[in-house]
Each structure stands twice: as C-alpha cells, then as structure tokens.
Amino acid sequence: MFKNEIPKAPIHNSPPRFIEVAGSHHQMGSQIGEAARHQLQHSVENARKLLDASFSSIQLTWEQAKTHAKKYLPFAEETYPHYVDEMRGIAEGANLNFDDVLVVNCMEEIAGDTLHLTHCTSMAVNNERSSNGHVLAAHNEDWYPDDEDDVLIISAKPNEEPPFLSMTYGALLCNVGFNAYGITQLIDSVYPSDIRFGLPRLLVSRAVLASQRITDAFARILVANRAAGYNHLIVHESGEIYSVEVSSKRFEMLYARDGSMIHTNHYLDPQMKLIERNPEHLLSSRARYFRALRLLGQKEKHSIESLQAIQQDHVNVPKSICNHDIIGEPIDQHKTICALVIDLTEREMHVAWGNPCQNQYHTYKLNA
Ligand SMILES: [Zn+2]
C-alpha cells in the first residue's frame, strides 16, 4: 500500500510566550516590542528572506517593498492613527525600523496574489452544539515554518478599548482573538480580485478586537477605503456566529443557522465567488473545508477536545487541516504554526504551539 508520510514537525516543550501589556496604544506596542525583541526582529528578518527567495516571482527588493508599503500608510493614518501608533511602539520597543514593521504588516498587500500567504482553517460551534453549553471557536494558523518560533500570546488592557487576548507572531498587529465583550474574531485569507491602495487588512482586523457588540464588529470589518479583505469569522458569547466575507468593495455575510461555521481560504458566498482571483489555486482550501464540514457534522455536540481532534486531522496530508506542507520552495512552504481553541464562555484560549498533532495545548485566560 502507498501512503503519504506525515513530515516531522518541531516539538515545543514549553508554552508559547505570554505577554501582558496595558496603557496607550504606543505603550502597549513598545511593551510587546521590548518583551519579545528577539522574536520581532526575527520575523522581520524572515520576511526579508522570503522576499529575497521569491524575487523571481514577486520582483520586489526589500527597499522597494518599503516604498510600496508607505503608499498604504496615509489610509492607515487617516482611519486608525492609534493603531499606526501601536506599530510605532512595536518598532521602538523592538529596536526595529518603523518602515520594516510596516512592510511586515502590509505583506499581503505588497505581495498581492503571488504569495498565498495563509492557509488557515477556522471553525465555531455555539452553545446548542457544545456538550457543556459553551460557545467554542477554533483556528489553525498556517504560515511560513520559519515564523513558528515567533508565536506570541498577548493579553492587552488598552486605556480606551476593551481588554483582549490574542495570538500573534513577530511584529504583526494582534488580530485573531477575543475581547472582554465576548466577541471573537478568527481570520482567514481570501483572494479578491478588486484589490487597491487602501487600508491594509491587518489594521482592519486589529480594529475588530475593540468591538463592543456584533454590529460594531461588522462596521469595523466594513470600514471605508479597504485595500482588500479577509474572511472574518465572528463569534459572540450569545452563540451568534457569522462569517463576513470581504473584498475591497464588496462583502457578504454567512450565518450559522445550525449553530456551527467553518471557513478556510476560498469564498463561500456565490456573489463573492464572482470576484475570486485564481480559484483553481485554492484546492487545499476546498479539501480542508469539506473535511472539516464532515468531521463537525459527525457529532451533534462538540467539546474542546473534539474540536482539537479536528485540528489534528491529517486527511490529504501534507495539505491537511493539521498542515505539514513544508515541501518545495520557501515561497510554497506552509505549516500549522499554532492551533487554538477559544472557550468564549470561560474567556479562555487553549493553544498548541506548532502542529497540534505533536504538541500539547496550554491554557491562557483573559485578564480583564
Ligand atoms: Zn499534524
């Protein structure tokens, strides 16, 4: 019999780094920068290496990338000057150049469709679909293997926004996580064809972590002058679950009528599919989506453990939900660098650093 092997994955014997920050946006950024200076510098170095290694396809030097990133800055400063300030704090705290931090935060805008940057899988079940009546959300973060060392868990108490708990890596603004108002955001890259100069996706999703209610999250997701768009899987503690599929000019909302939702990296709504760029490139996204749909459908009630089991699934390995796709050129390599399950009712996040098939989960609590 022939069988696809599961490639060896790094084992982490400790939990991912936990950093508590508080204060103004600039202060929080600089606290993250100081606490994880090495990891932030490493993430900038990795991004630079990736552009170098991909020069034949992207045709962009690091200097050109910095020039390109600056074209997005006026949009960011106009709408969200406080999050630009957070990036400035990150740069100062980590002894990095702000321009370099900006490139990392605009990488999806700069590299466009050439880098299929993320291959994430997100899921949620509400209180009617969980065995203990809790609202649960799960996300596999698939990214370049070199950034696995840079995974951070941030507990933040901003002066004028709700406290939140987030997973991020390196110099990226926080975006995946949940806040004290019981709003969770999971992010999946999608590939709209209507990209333009505008507000970078990471600033849009950073702002969603400050939402106080469901419609507030929608308004932040659909902010004007977007450069492109993600899928934002939004879960409220009441059990309301939406996938908001976004491009620069369009959006559609999917609602979890049966109490569960899955999203990967292709648009699900028929109207959004019309503007999907190169849908034939998104094959593993489709395989992961249907596989997760089947596994989620096999149980009437889910638990943290049953969602973790889906996160560890290896069907279609190495392009599986537990992603081990580390074969080929650096630009084509992806793997699950972190898997998390959020118990929104308990305000807890259970995080496996690296591939969840080989690394144990650690629990983090929101410090509100
Ligand atoms: Zn695995």
| Tens of pLDDT, residues 299-326 | 999 999 999 999 999 999 999 999 999 8
> Cα of 7 to ligand 1 centre, how many Å?
8
State how far the Cα of 155 lies from the Cα of 118, in Å rounded to an integer.
Answer: 24
- Please, are residues 220 and 205 in contact by the beta-carbon 8 Å criterion? no
Q: Is the pLDDT of residue 118 over 80?
A: no
Q: What confidence tier does 290 reach under pLDDT thresholds 50, 70, 90?
A: very high
pLDDT at 116: 61
> Cα of 227 to ligand 1 centre, how many Å?
34
pLDDT at 357: 97
88-102, 115-129, 211-225, 247-261: range with lowest mean pLDDT: 115-129
Q: What is the DSSP string of 135-189?
A: -EEEEEEEE-GGGGGGEEEEEEEESSS--EEEEEETTPPP-EEEETTSEEEEEEE
Q: Is the pLDDT of residue 5 over 80?
A: yes
Helix, strand or coil, per DSSP, at residue 114: coil
Provide the sign of the torsion angle of the four alpha carbons 69, 273, 140, 142, taken in this order: negative
Radius of gyration of the chain (CA): 19
> Cα of 199 to ligand 1 centre, how many Å?
35
pLDDT in tens, 63-79: 999 999 999 999 999 99
> Cα of 9 to ligand 1 centre, how many Å?
8
Q: Which of 192, 165, 211 is nearest to 252 (CA)?
A: 192
Q: Is the pLDDT of residue 261 over 80?
A: yes
> Cα of 322 to ligand 1 centre, how many Å?
4
- Please, are residues 70 and 102 in contact by the beta-carbon 8 Å criterion? yes
> Cα of 43 to ligand 1 centre, how many Å?
23
Fill in the amino acid letter for 273: K
Secondary structure E strands in the chain: 17-23, 121-125, 136-143, 151-158, 164-169, 176-179, 183-189, 230-236, 241-246, 251-255, 260-263, 335-343, 348-353, 361-365
> Cα of 147 to ligand 1 centre, how many Å?
17
> Cα of 122 to ligand 1 centre, how many Å?
16
- Please, are residues 326 and 145 in contact by the beta-carbon 8 Å criterion? yes
- Please, are residues 185 and 174 in contact by the beta-carbon 8 Å criterion? no
pLDDT at 272: 98
> Cα of 313 to ligand 1 centre, how many Å?
7
> Cα of 143 to ligand 1 centre, how many Å?
14
State how far the Cα of 348 lies from the Cα of 1, in Å rounded to an integer.
Answer: 43
User: Can you tell me the mean pLDDT for 111-138?
Assistant: 87
> Cα of 314 to ligand 1 centre, how many Å?
6
> Cα of 72 to ligand 1 centre, how many Å?
37
pLDDT in tens, 146-190: 999 999 999 999 999 999 999 999 999 999 999 999 999 999 999
Nearest 5°: the CA angle 260, 223, 69 is 110
> Cα of 336 to ligand 1 centre, how many Å?
8
* pLDDT above 70 coverage of the chain, percent: 98
pLDDT in tens, 197-208: 999 999 999 999
> Cα of 90 to ligand 1 centre, how many Å?
32
> Cα of 325 to ligand 1 centre, how many Å?
10
State the burial class of residue 192 (Cβ atoms within 10 Å of its Cβ: 0-12, 13-18, 19+).
buried
Residue 358's Cβ-side half-sphere holds a number of Cα atoms within 13 Å equal to 16
Domains of the chain, CATH where assigned: 116-365 (3.60.60.10)
> Cα of 120 to ligand 1 centre, how many Å?
14
Beta bridge partner(s), residue 142: 336
What pTM did the predictor assign? 0.97
Q: What confidence tier does 281 reach under pLDDT thresholds 50, 70, 90?
A: confident
> Cα of 4 to ligand 1 centre, how many Å?
12
